[in-house]
Structure 1
């Protein structure tokens, strides 16, 4: 099965997303995706990756992964080269599973779980996809604008949000009420007033629904160690399920100190690429939960190695998705086939919103769980007509 062309598609409406389609001489097309820096990724794919891939056997996934991910360029970073390699890798696995007529999780060793528990990341429909800027919400800034404007809801009316999630079957949610305070001081100082404002949503959710729902706290690596520890000491009594990326994740010792002194389970990190970064954090006893973003860490090939590494350290896996629908599908396949997976992240505002406009199939959500896809490969394709949209930028490199 030879690669005959590499195609990229991106839409001006969603400037962070880019899709890769790898065409073969057997007529099969593999689909991949990555996120942020889409135009730079596009350029790299056509000028650097395509010449390495076209004419090659699409089934040599591990060889291509090594060439693109661990070659001279893009080594162990999470920048353009790694994101491009990640998208290619996802597409190659999609091709492999399609050629065998099996869902992707079968090619990864089969189901370890009959279904995968999902948690809702409480973002709104315009979060992270129509602008490169992260939207932060302060209390009183504005009202909820729609059913799934969860980012406003977790600040303005967290009790109602938690109850809404429980009614849909979710048993876990993720919020980030300390981000606004971090933006005010560049993460260098947390005042008593900011502490109170950040803690309030947790307190109100616990008062309303008790322990019926797990609450993850996302920090987006915005705090220095001193401030992060101050928050952890106050937050601990409210029993967050994990503290995600509390500081910049490039200091192994600082993160290990945070875990030891702060007393909160640490989850990390969507921002890390390749197994080496996770190896060092696990060896330093700095992580409790391993999170990977398949479109940033090196694709499925690298993510499954990271999952196995986490299992060796007896740490659970929770794949990331706050990006795009193809990554959600790929991540679900990985989670379903990984014995140590405990959660798959999803954003209900995305899944019930713009994701439906981009792909043909999405995971089935049933009472808090995502069910295994039953179609070959990833189980989804780009939506019909997407390539013909007026705002579509389509580029193809052939032999």
Structure 2
């Protein structure tokens, strides 16, 4: 089998999402995806990667992954080069699954569980769906697309939101009420009044549902170390499940200081590219839970290596997903295949909302758990309606005739 063409697709409405389709001489097509900076990633795929991939055997996934990330400008980051490699890598695994007639999770080692616990990231329908991603600015609260405007809910009545999630069997939720303060103060300080306002959702959740709900705290790398320590101390009485990305992920030493100062586990990080920075974090005891975004860190090939690395340090694995539908599906395959997966991120406003406008199949979420995807490869495809959209842009690189 040979790769005969590389096709990229993006839309104006979902402008952060880029899909990659790998065409082969056997008629099989592999589907991949990445998120954010779609136009720049598209350019890198066609201008830099295409010449290295066209005509190659797509079943040599490890070799092709290494080809893509060994470029001088692609060195352990989540920049354009790694996001491009991630999308192509996911498409390679989808192709391999279609060739063998197996779901991707089987190719990665098989199921480790029959159902997988999920948590709900409390985003709304418009959250980071389009345009530049900035704290607060892209929350897009106020959509009337459906019943799960969970971002507005956690900022106004988090207790009622927790009760709603429990009614559907979801027993873990992620919120980020400290972001507006960080945005206002550049992450440099937080007053007593601001602290009280940010802690209000935790008060409401515990008052309404007690300890029935696990609460993850996302901090988006917005704080300096002293303020992150102060916030962690304030959160301890509420029994937070984890604190995620409290400071910028460029100092294992600083993150280790934070980890040693609090009883709340540290989760890191969707912002890390490749397994190498994870090793630095793990060596220093800076992170307790390895979070990975497969669309940014090198795809399924690198994701499973990070999971295995974390396992050697007796740390759990928790894939990130607050991006696009194909990335969500890929994360599920990876999560089911890794023995140290703790929990899988999901966004009910996404998988019951705009994801359904784009792909044929999504994971079944039932009673707070995901079920394995069925069918060969990833088990999902872009809907025919995607190819008919008036805002669709397509670019294709092909083997010379």
Give how far 1:78 is off.
Answer: 1.2
Which residue of structure 1 lines up, in the alignment, with residue 118 of structure 2? 118
How far does residue 385 in structure 1 lie from its aligned partner after superposition?
A: 2.4
RMSD (Å), alpha carbons: 1.3
Indicate the residue corresponding to 1:305 in structure 2. 305
Cα distance in 2 for partners of 1:253, 1:290 equals: 17
Shift of 1:76: 1.1
Structure 1 window deviating more from structure 2 (69-78 vs 109-118): it is 69-78
What is the deviation of 1:95? 0.4
Q: Secondary structure at the match of 1:296?
A: coil
Aligned position for 1:12: 12
Specify the alignment match of 2:326 in structure 1: 326
Runs of 4+ aligned structure 1 residues displaced above 4 Å come to: 141-146
Give the aligned partner of residue 249 of structure 1.
249
Q: Is this contact kept in 1: 2:141–2:151, CA < 8 A?
A: no
Query: In structure 2, what is the Cα distance between the partners aligned to 1:125 and 1:341?
Result: 27
Equivalent residue number for residue 357 of structure 1: 357
Structure 2 CA distance for aligned equivalents of residues 196 and 386 of structure 1: 45
Distance apart, 1:340 and its partner CA = 0.2
Q: Is the 8 A contact 1:19 1:33 kept in 2?
A: yes
Partner of 1:231: 231
Q: Closer, same or farther in 2 for the Cα pair 1:22/1:143, shift >3 Å?
A: closer
Which residue matches 2:33?
33
Distance across 2 between alignment mates of 1:244 and 1:66: 29
1:62 aligns to what?
A: 62
Distance (whole Å) between structure 1 residues aligned to residue 62 and residue 135 of structure 2: 38
Partner of 2:48: 48
Residues 32-61 of structure 1, C-alpha deviation per residue, up to 9 Å, x if partnerless?
A: 000111000000000111110000000010
| Counterpart check, 1:151 vs 2:151 | yes
Cα deviation for residue 70 of structure 1 reads 2.4
1:359 CA displacement: 0.5
After TM superposition, give the deviation of residue 264 of structure 1 in Å. 1.6
Partner of 2:102: 102
Shift of 1:136: 2.5
Q: Secondary structure at the match of 1:381?
A: coil
Instruction: Tell me how many residue pairs correspond in the alignment.
Output: 396
Distance 1:143 1:354 in 2: 15
| CA-CA distance at 1:144 after TM superposition | 8.0
Q: Point out the more displaced range, 315-324 or 380-389.
A: 380-389
2:2 equivalent in structure 1: 2
Distance 1:142 1:288, change over 3 A: closer
1:388 is displaced (CA, Å) by 2.1
Q: Is the 8 A contact 1:127 1:134 kept in 2?
A: no
Where do residues 190-269 of structure 1 align in structure 2 (5 Å cutoff)? Answer: 190-269=190-269
Aligned partner of 1:317 in structure 2 is 317
TM-score computed with the length of structure 1 as normaliser: 0.97
Q: Distance in 2 between matches of 1:231 and 1:46?
A: 44
Shift of 1:135: 5.6
Structure 2 distance, partners of 1:72, 1:221, is 27
Task: Say if 1:387 and 1:394, in contact at 8 Å, map to a contact too.
Answer: no
- In 2, the alpha carbon distance for the partners of 1:201 and 1:294 equals 30
Segments of 5+ residues of structure 2 without an aligned counterpart are none
